[in-house]
Structure 1
């Protein structure tokens, strides 16, 4: 019988299946090893970081102090009555510009006119008494020369004449006082400027120096702007301010620093420092011909202290701050970067002066520094096509005042230069 044949063939089929399984397992292991080894080899070459870079340049940098200021008029006068009486007339309109000496208001002068007439009558009486006393003195002088009257009588008459002369002088002073009172009844503008809202209406009884007064006059042009500078900047300001013929320019911007309102010059520095804030008050004069500055308005002040000539300039975004202090990422010849410590100086928002640690011509990273580290490989981004109007922006001088969004505009220009 052939019953034993399948039993003899079974071990051979089992051995063949086992051999196939071993071959499959070995192939899988080889594939896994190849995949793992190939992945590690690929990861060893980390791709370079794409950045924007530009070279440090030489240029002029204005040294500007940005401070908060307040428009302070040259003169603000609250016109007060100098005597008492009823206000009979007002000669101005609210918000009107007036000149010095212009009529403002009238106080009823009748009482003071009557007082003056009484003083004039008293003067006439005392002048008559003085004339009589002088005539008597002349007669007594003749009698005294003839030894016909006592010495005491002659001396008494001399004293009488002097008393009458003093009475006449007192009367003249009283008349002058009433003349002054009548002048005070006619109230005029003590300074040129703009009147505010009317503080008292005709028909009211006012008293001497009564509050709130008649009206307030504020000089609109020229005007001044008062601001403060920190004590650390005072030495530089004093040095330039005291230089022969020097005039420090001041630019005034509105409260949100978006529009320039006026320009002026620094003309006064306070003689004391505020100990609570460590600042010194300064004042600049402004022509304010267009009256763009309004009294008590809050403004931003830019004081041009000095201009650094041939300074090393880099885009402001290139300067970073961290554990080493202020530093930049310096681009090496082998397309790697190194952390380079620098000392930064003034900045106009677009560019920053490097006082030490960097030379003109060295290339620094301006954008893409988020994942950089010392020794990292980089790839400088290709230049982007210039947009309309970008050339004038790139060619603008760094000496101008800071503009909004200056860092973004400079970052685009830096990428273009790096190419």
Structure 2
């Protein structure tokens, strides 16, 4: 009886254990649903303002006046009065040439003039006497005419002597070489003591005007109507010159548009134009290549954004506009762009647009706005190698 009772208890315990196991394995498990992760982005606001429009091109700096100093008479270079790189003004003495032979020729011409003048004075006195004698036929008319011819001959001789004097004085002036322009002296090619010839092609040195200077540049022929409008305006169009390529280098000077070339280059389809620059600081140098930028228009009440805000789609440009805690895709039209900004239409003033982090976005994606320093930290964390110390 006792043994039968133990069996019943064992069976009851086994049934209880089976029931508990069945309940444990058949109970529903809770599923963990994770919320989608927000994409970190940076944003900016659409700004409305008046924005100038520019066109850029490559130009070359030219000096309005550049003169190679050459001798105009043969002779020995006796003295150089200036140094290389020195600033000179128009009329400044640059160099001297040995003038002894020219001075001797000048003195000889003066002596010949004096001799001719003395002979002329005597001949004119005789002519007056002959004229009185012809009244009562004391001398023949032929004698009087011969004396008149002698006077005329001596006058011509005196004029020839004076011309020789003038020529010698001109030659003498050439022995003092003076600057024909205001500018800077270049590298010297000849030293003192060398014999100079008029036929020498190399010259002593050059004098080049540095202030002001001109910049000649080329633009596409499509810009010709705009250039005509700029020249016809009451205020001269402003032209900026920058160092290197693009308008991001150092500003070298600010000038004014002065003229357009009289023909388009058929081979390149470009038109040349010239601008004049004040160059007191001498930042612009003749022969230098510069980038020029001209303001061609002023867009009033334009919607301005940074270039990285606008994305290029298959058919059109678009931006990501912040809507609550997510973004929406908005098609836009690019009206003007350069390296620093874009003018667009299709959005409104003060709209908040995504400026960084667009690669992970699509319409309706949830975002988290971060600052620039926070975005840099996230980018460094995302690119850190596995196992790196935290």
Match of 1:222 in 2: 212
User: Is 1:278 paired with 2:258?
Assistant: no
Deviations 1:213-251 (A, max 9, x none): 11111222232322222221222222122212x022222
Q: 1:195 aligns with which of 185, 198, 202?
A: 185
The counterpart of 2:333, out of the listed 339, 342, 362, is: 342
Q: Deviations over 1:67-117 (max 9, x none)?
A: 112222232111010111111221222222223222221111011011111
Q: Deviations over 1:98-157 (max 9, x none)?
A: 232222211110110111111112111221222233223212322333344444443443
Tell me the residue number matched to 2:78. Answer: 88
SS at match of 2:368: coil
Superposition pairs of residues 20-419 of structure 1, within 5 angstroms: 56-244=46-234, 246-256=235-245, 257-320=248-311, 324=315, 327-329=317-319, 340=331, 342-345=333-336, 347-354=337-344, 360=349, 366-367=355-356, 377-379=363-365, 381-385=367-371
CA contact (8 A) 1:240 1:306 kept: no
Measure, in 2, the Cα distance between the counterparts of 1:188 and 1:204: 18
> What is the CA-CA distance between 1:365 and the residue it aligns to?
5.8
Structure 1 residues 362 and 132 mapped into 2: Cα distance closer, same or farther (>3 Å)?
same
Q: TM-score, normalised by structure 1?
A: 0.70
8 A Cα contact 2:227 2:260, kept in partner:
no
Q: Quick one: distance in 2 between partners of 1:360 and 1:163? A: 97
Unaligned runs of 5+ in 1: 1-41, 389-419
Aligned-partner SS, 2:134: helix
Aligned pairs for 1:12-23 within 5 A: none
The DSSP-based 3-state class of the residue aligned with 1:271 is strand
Secondary structure, in 3 states, of the residue corresponding to 2:365?
A: strand
Distance 2:85 2:163 in 1: 39
Aligned in 2, Cα 1:133/1:236: closer, same or farther, shift over 3 Å?
A: same
Cα distance change, pair 255–139 in 1 and its aligned pair in 2 (3 A): same
Query: Residues 221 and 270 of structure 2 are in contact (CA less than 8 Å); yes or no, is this contact kept in structure 1?
Result: yes
**In the alignment, what sits opposite 2:8?**
none
Cα deviation for residue 66 of structure 1 reads 1.5
CA RMSD of aligned residues (A): 3.3
Contact 1:62–1:348 (CA under 8 A) maintained in structure 2? no
> Using a 3 Å threshold, how does the CA distance of structure 1 residues 323 and 387 change in structure 2: closer, same or farther?
closer
How many residues align? The count is 339
CA deviations 1:263-315 (Å, max 9, x no partner) are: 22223333333222222222222222222222222222222233222123333
> Contact 1:52 / 1:380 at 8 angstroms: preserved in 2?
no
Q: Work out whether residues 119 and 175 of structure 1, in 8 Å CA contact, stay in contact via their aligned partners in 2.
A: yes
With over 3 angstroms needed to count, the CA separation of the structure-2 counterparts of 1:60 and 1:88, relative to structure 1, is: same
User: For 2:317, what is the secondary structure of its paired residue?
Assistant: strand
Compared CA separation, residues 322 and 232, structure 1 to 2 (3 A): farther
CA apart distance, 1:200? 0.5
**Structure 1 residues 338, 298: CA separation in 2 closer, same or farther (over 3 Å shift)?**
same
Instruction: State the Cα deviation string for residues 352-410 of structure 1 (Å, max 9, x = none).
Output: 223x66665667665555587xxx6233633223659xxxxxxxxxxxxxxxxxxxxxx
Instruction: Give the Cα separation in 2 of the matches to 1:322 and 1:134.
Output: 104
Q: Matches of 1:165 and 1:321 in 2, distance apart?
A: 93
**Which stretches in structure 2 are left out of the alignment for 5+ residues?**
1-32, 375-390
